[in-house]
Amino acid sequence: MPDWIADVLGDEFEQLTLALADDDEGPVVATLVRALPRERPWWDRLRRRDLPLPDVDVLYVHGWSDYFFQKRLARFWTARGARFFALDLRKYGRSLRDGQTPGYITDLATYDQDIAAALRAMGRDDTGSPSHRPLVLLGHSTGGLTLSLWASRHPGAADAVILNSPWLEFQLASARPLLAPVAELQARWAPRDVAPQVDLGFYTRAQQEVADPTDPVEVNLAWRPAQTMAVHAGWFHAILSGHAAVAHGLSIEAPVCVLLSSRSATPARWSEDLTRADSVLVVDDIARAALKLGPSVTVERIDGALHDVFLSRHDAREDAYRRLGRWVTGWAAVQ
């Protein structure tokens, strides 16, 4: 296995390239990023203060047209004693190679290979068998859909699932059953056909508008473009199939926490309202769909949050971290 090397995020992070099976575009890799926890102050060590999550592993998976860059999110976990890892899936971010179609996949279950490789590199059983170290899955948007499906297919593997605005339902939920047969036919005959671009870049602008200079975030626009990557028919069908599985009901045994904005806003034209709402998903539909993930689901609605609740304006972002901290504290208390 290759060695861990310095990551683009700086001294606090390292990355490891994970070789996967080739596909029709050639060699395929995923990339695992790990956070290196800051050394605790000497007075903290002298007091031998116990950290609440000393034996916990966290695996983060990003969303569509995205990659891992959220330093503060990693620090949230390492400050509590957890080992934090983030996975750039095949053909995204650090894992994208020349000649590949960015983000392209025709079945979300293919990501089982990426996740298995990550778990092996983390020193865990790649079959999803229970471990002596609790595993927390943390997914944003499409990553939340991917991890929800994985956790349902691997009962007992995850000890907690935390979802940041997971894409659990199509934006026009009532239209999904009508679109699915058409999408399946197109995916079969012309899987690389590209849909018209409908993203006007307003979500990216909203993040820039609410950026906090005291909590800076640097984004590589080559890996996370202002407008989303091209949407191909094969990928779209895979997403709709995932939504259908959620609608039918999943069986995630672990407790689930879903963090969502309190409301949605339609990004038809720019307005300040887009800086205080989720302009990507219909959050009420997501909240309803979340209740089908398993028997133990908590839904946290955050006033003023963006689609990525941890990239929201200051007050909403701090509220998101408080709610996450409260939920994790309660979960850890019963482990």
Token pair for residue 165?
């605005």
CB neighbour list of residue 245: distance below 8 Å, 6 or more residues apart: 149, 152
Residue 139: how many CA atoms within 13 Å on its side-chain side? Answer: 24
CB neighbour list of residue 228: distance below 8 Å, 6 or more residues apart: 64, 65, 197, 199
pLDDT tens-digit readout, 111-152: 999 999 999 999 998 776 767 899 999 999 999 999 999 999
d(CA 270, CA 39): 44
Give 39's pLDDT tier (boundaries 50, 70, 90). Answer: low
Residue 81 three-state SS? coil
What are phi and psi for residue 332, nearest 5 degrees?
Answer: -65, -30
Residue whose structure tokens are 């390492």: 78
Give 178's pLDDT tier (boundaries 50, 70, 90). Answer: confident
Residue whose structure tokens are 């992070």: 13
Residue in 196, 173, 304 with CA at minimum distance from that of residue 244? 173
Mean residue pLDDT of the chain comes to: 94
State how far Cα 264 lies from the chain centre. Answer: 19
More confident residue, 178 or 93: 93
Give 172's pLDDT tier (boundaries 50, 70, 90). Answer: confident
The pairing of strands 5-7 and 160-164 is unpaired
Q: Are 321 and 300 in contact (CB under 8 A)?
A: no
pLDDT at position 35: 98
CA dihedral of 301, 306, 311, 313, whole degrees rounded to 10: -90
Give 102's pLDDT tier (boundaries 50, 70, 90). Answer: very high
pLDDT at position 5: 97
pLDDT tens-digit readout, 250-273: 999 999 999 999 999 999 999 999
- Domain map (residue ranges) of the chain: 5-333
Q: With both helix axes pointing from N to C terminus, report the angle between 233-248 and 176-189 in degrees, rounded to the nearest 10.
A: 140
d(CA 271, CA 307): 16
Residue in 271, 312, 305, 314 with CA at minimum distance from that of residue 287? 305
pLDDT above 90: residue 335: no
How many residues can be counted in the chain? 335
Q: Are 300 and 259 in contact (CB under 8 A)?
A: yes
CATH number of 5-333: 3.40.50.1820
Residue in 144, 139, 143, 167 with CA at minimum distance from that of residue 92? 143
Angle at 139 (CA atoms; ends 215, 271), nearest 5 degrees = 55
5: left (phi over 0), alpha (psi -120 to 50) or beta: beta
pLDDT tens-digit readout, 10-21: 999 999 999 999
Angle at 319 (CA atoms; ends 313, 325), nearest 5 degrees = 135
More confident residue, 308 or 1: 308
